[in-house]
Structure 1
Amino acid sequence: MRYALFLPPFGELADPTVLADLAADAEAAGFQGFFLWDHIARPHRPELAVGDPWISLAAVATRTERMTLGTRITPLTRRRPQVVARQAVALDRLSGGRFVLGVGPGTDSGGELTRFGEVAALRERAARLDEALDVVCQLWSGEEVEHDGTHFRVDGLRFLPTPVQRPRIPIWVAAQSTNPGPMRRAARFDGLCPETTPEGLAEMLAGIGERRGGLDGFDVAAAGPPGQDPEPYRAVGATWWLVQLPEITTVDEVTAEIERFAAVSR
């Protein structure tokens, strides 16, 4: 099992330079990954500073050499797939092939979607997510793309450069249940970001493994708060444990977690 920090870029952590410094310290301490929440606003906390995770990850990429970097998760329902495709390739190249794209339909917590006029109905968000993923993967291919879908259109365009990672940048899919839609989506791609119990994860992986014909090369990025034992998740198939800090986290609290990890990793 590999270990990562999973941070909210809010408050003191909204500054990309602060996150880059913390990431460098985390890599030196032995963490193998660094992931950020992807939000535009926190409507229930109007005074809270919110940083951009993509810009922050670019800063992190320049200060680290080995760690896997990624979003967990990016709601493609409120992002144009062509912009995500461009940004992801830029991060992949800047990091030397260390970027992972975590995706999901997103949530309307506090009105984060509806207060910007974004789609709120889950069924439509899921449909937009699936089509957006098709567009992103086609654009990453470097070939000319013709796509005339329900939600998105690409009229004979070719995106270069292509990602460093081949055949493409890994995509990890968020899921909270064993409903057919999330399970089919996860099975199509390279990893799972589960939000469930160890027992729920075992059920998810059984369904995904059946659809894929096995779980070889499939990453499972479970997450939990500092101090939680990851062993129950590892035992049922998790390949990553993301130490998830709460929505309001100070620099000192992240530093303390990095120091604790360094102490137990020696």
Structure 2
Amino acid sequence: MRFSVTFGAVGAGRDPRGLAELARMAEDCGWDGVFLEDYLVYQGDASEPTYDPWVCLAAMATATSTVRLGTTVTPVPRRRPWQLAAEAVALDHLSGGRLVLGVGIGDPGDPFLSGVGEPSDPRVLAEKLDEALEIIDALWSGEPVTFSGKHYTLDGVQLTARPVQRPRIPIWVGGNFLVPAVRRRILRWDGSTAYKGSTDAPQQITPDDVRALRAEAPSDTFEIKVTRGDPIAFAEAGADWWGHWIAPGPVSEAHKILRAGPPQLS
């Protein structure tokens, strides 16, 4: 099992420079991954400054050499899929092939959806996410892409830069594990970073949930990331990653958690 920390790019010490320093400390202290929540306004609260997570990831990539980096999760319907595909390729090269793209529909209450005239109906967001993932995967091939969907149309367009990683940058799917469509989406891609229940009242994924998902996994390389809970029980159930979410707050608290290092399995 590998161990990660997750930050929000919000508040003092969580700007690009500060997160680069935190990522370097995490690497030095034995953590295997550092992930960012993807908000433009952190959880819809404008009381603290929020920084673009993709710029922060670029700074983190230049400050580290071994930790995995990524988002958990990027609300793909808020983005143009071809722009996201190109940015991910650039970051995969900058990091030397260490990027993970965590994806989800996003929060329907995000002010940068309904507040800017974008659709916010969860069903529409799910449709856009599924179409966008097909487009992103196809564009990463480096070949011309023609696509005709309900929300996006591409006519022979091409990104000539390809990711370092093969067959693609890993795509980990988030969302409510209890929703059948989310579960089907998870199993179409490369990993799970799902939760249970609503975002307002998330439940803990259990070791039994991990065993069930592992039994359905499409390949041996499929990765399951959990947050909180007993890491030993989750490792025995087949989880690949155990994550510690570090809440916004004083940088000194983040330093304390990072310096303590990841949990010990024995």
For residues 144-200 of structure 1, the C-alpha deviation after alignment (integer angstroms, 9 at most, x for no partner) is: 11112111121111101100001110000013223221111111111000213243x
How much has 1:218 moved relative to structure 2?
Answer: 1.0
Give runs of aligned pairs for residues 4-153 of structure 1, distance below 5 A: 4-42=4-42, 44-109=44-109, 111-153=111-153
1:236 maps to what in 2?
Answer: 237
Matched to 1:115, the amino acid is G
SS at match of 1:108: coil
Q: Give yes or no for contact 1:13–1:51 (8 Å, CA) kept in 2.
A: no
CA distance in 1, matches of 2:243, 2:131: 28
CA distance in 2, matches of 1:81, 1:195: 24
Matched to 1:77, the amino acid is P
Figure out how many residues of one structure are paired with residues of the other and give that number.
Answer: 258
How much has 1:211 moved relative to structure 2?
Answer: 6.5
CA distance in 1, matches of 2:108, 2:66: 34
Q: Give yes or no for contact 1:172–1:189 (8 Å, CA) kept in 2.
A: yes
Matched to 1:55, the amino acid is V
SS at match of 1:90: helix
Query: Is residue 185 of structure 1 aligned with residue 185 of structure 2?
Result: yes
1:164 maps to what in 2?
Answer: 164
TM-score w.r.t. length of structure 1: 0.90
Matched to 2:223, the amino acid is D
1:219 maps to what in 2?
Answer: 223
CA distance in 2, matches of 1:179, 1:45: 27
Q: 1:167 to 1:44 in 2, by over 3 A?
A: closer
Percent of paired sites with the same residue = 39
Q: 1:187 to 1:3 in 2, by over 3 A?
A: same
SS at match of 2:89: helix
Q: 2:208 aligns with which of 199, 202, 207?
A: 202
SS at match of 1:141: coil
Query: Is residue 257 of structure 1 aligned with residue 263 of structure 2?
Result: no
Matched to 2:221, the amino acid is G
Structure 2 alignment gaps of length 5 or more: 197-203
Choose between structure 1 and 2: higher helix proportion.
1
TM-score w.r.t. length of structure 2: 0.90
For residues 90-121 of structure 1, the C-alpha deviation after alignment (integer angstroms, 9 at most, x for no partner) is: 00000000000000011134645322322211
CA distance in 2, matches of 1:204, 1:124: 28
CA distance in 1, matches of 2:14, 2:189: 30
Q: 1:172 to 1:184 in 2, by over 3 A?
A: same
Q: Give yes or no for contact 1:36–1:70 (8 Å, CA) kept in 2.
A: yes
Structure 1 alignment gaps of length 5 or more: none
Q: 1:203 to 1:22 in 2, by over 3 A?
A: closer
Q: 1:9 to 1:43 in 2, by over 3 A?
A: closer
CA distance in 2, matches of 1:264, 1:36: 23
